[in-house]
Homo-oligomer: A and B are copies of this chain.
Amino acid sequence: MLPIFNFSAGPAVLPYAVLEQIKRDVPSWQNSGMSVMEVSHRGKDFMAAAAQAEADVRDLLQISDDYSVLFLQGGATLQFAMVPLNLAGQSDVADYVLTGSWSKKAIADARPLCSVNVAADGTDGHFTAIPERSQWSMSDSAAYVHVTTNETIAGVEYQEIPDVGSKPLVADMSSTILSRPLDVSRFGVIYAGAQKNIGPAGITLVIVRKDLIGMHRKSAPRILTYEAFATSDSMTNTPPTFAWYVAGLVFSHLKSLGGLEAVAKINKRKAEKLYAAIDVSDFYSNPVDENCRSRMNVPFVLSDPALDGRFLAESDAAGLKNLKGHRSVGGMRASIYNAMPEEGVDALISFMQEFEKQNG
């Protein structure tokens, strides 16, 4: 079989070393005679693995003791509801910056739960740019300001998150978390579904400033409060233990690579060479403003869309998997998260050049 490079937007490729460890650990984890799926979350072995995962992600992201680190279920989508329930009252205003499909979903799910002010809206530009901070129209009374640091469909990413003053800044970082160093102290809440840069779908990392815990509205179901998880080591009910264990393996793997500075350097190089290959050609194009191109999701179109089918069939046959663009934008999309090796990007670029030669 050819080597495979999996460009899926998520659930996405995992580090090969992590997959090997998962395989070794079935059916017996830590010489217990049991897999990690079969042990109590409250047993000392799992508790130790869970604590190590938290310590490692705190280390990677330099998270201070002012923050709780939670491991929840429900994906980023559950956070679309938990954020307003925990940080705003029913009639409170919350500012949202609309930069693409994911912030749009966050807004739609928040609307019934608080008073959403869309502080900036990239719709007219088809989400190929992030509205300048100077154009954001924020509410004085906003309970928080919500941003989506990367939009996986349009392929736009904040290179710097603008200053929003003293309001708690809330960020959906599902597709950028751990892809570069981060100043956590600028944020009130950071949340991220696992299935891009953390681990398997089914676990959500939530980093919440401790002074924001316990402010949930009284009508919120207990299981939707940050407090319930912050006061129980994320074990107010049985956590998704396998996904947590894999997340721990990924954190440890990232540390072994040299941490997020090292990871960011590779990610930057991967993205730059792929955008360069697109830009140098008239055969491929990417419509996103250069100052907010995503390092994680690189959409591109062929000058002749009639060739899309052939491109996809031939790239698939060459071991370059899941390059089909999202139906809302068409064309191709290469998701190149942390676990995409640089060789995968190189192989894609070679394929693109060869395909252009044959069909250009």
Contacts and interface: CB of A to CB of B under 8 A. Distances in A.
Interface string A1-38: 11110101111111010011011001110011111011
Contacts of A27: 16, 19-20, 23
A321 interface: yes
20 contacts: A11-B38, A12-B38, A19-B35, A20-B27, A23-B26, A33-B319, A73-B74, A73-B75, A73-B240, A81-B221, A81-B222, A81-B223, A109-B222, A109-B223, A112-B218, A112-B219, A195-B238, A200-B240, A202-B202, A240-B243
B239 A37 contact: no
Contact of A33 (B1, B20, B241): B1
B11 A241 contact: yes
A57 to B, nearest CB: 18
Nearest to A174: B238
A334 to B, nearest CB: 14
Given A13-B38, A20-B27, A32-B321, 13 more contacts: A1-B33, A4-B33, A6-B39, A22-B35, A33-B321, A37-B200, A195-B241, A200-B240, A202-B241, A202-B243, A221-B224, A224-B224, A240-B240
A10 B43 CA distance: 11
A109 B222 CA distance: 7
Given A23-B26, A224-B81, A241 B200 contact: yes
A246 B23 contact: no
Contacts of A3: 33
Interface string A242-258: 11001000000000000
Contacts of A241: 11, 195, 200-202
Nearest to A12: B38
Q: Give the number of copies in the complex.
A: 2
A201 B240 contact: yes
A185 interface: no
A55 interface: no
Nearest to A110: B221
A112 B19 contact: no
A80 interface: yes
A85 interface: yes
A39 B11 contact: yes
B223 A78 contact: yes
Interface of A: 1-4, 6, 8-14, 16, 19-20, 22-23, 26-28, 31-35, 37-41, 43, 73-78, 80-81, 85, 109, 112-113, 193, 195, 199-203, 218-219, 221-224, 236-243, 246, 319, 321-322
Of the candidates A8, A73, A75, the one having the most CB atoms from chain B within 10 angstroms of its own CB is: A73
Nearest to A243: B202
Contacts of A26: 19, 22-23, 26
Contacts of A80: 223
A202 B243 CA distance: 8
A339 to B, nearest CB: 9
A11 B73 contact: no
A183 B162 CA distance: 58
A40 B193 contact: no
A161 to B, nearest CB: 24
Given A74-B74, A81-B222, A34 B4 contact: yes
5 shortest A-B CB distances, which residue pairs? A202-B240, A4-B33, A81-B221, A77-B237, A73-B73
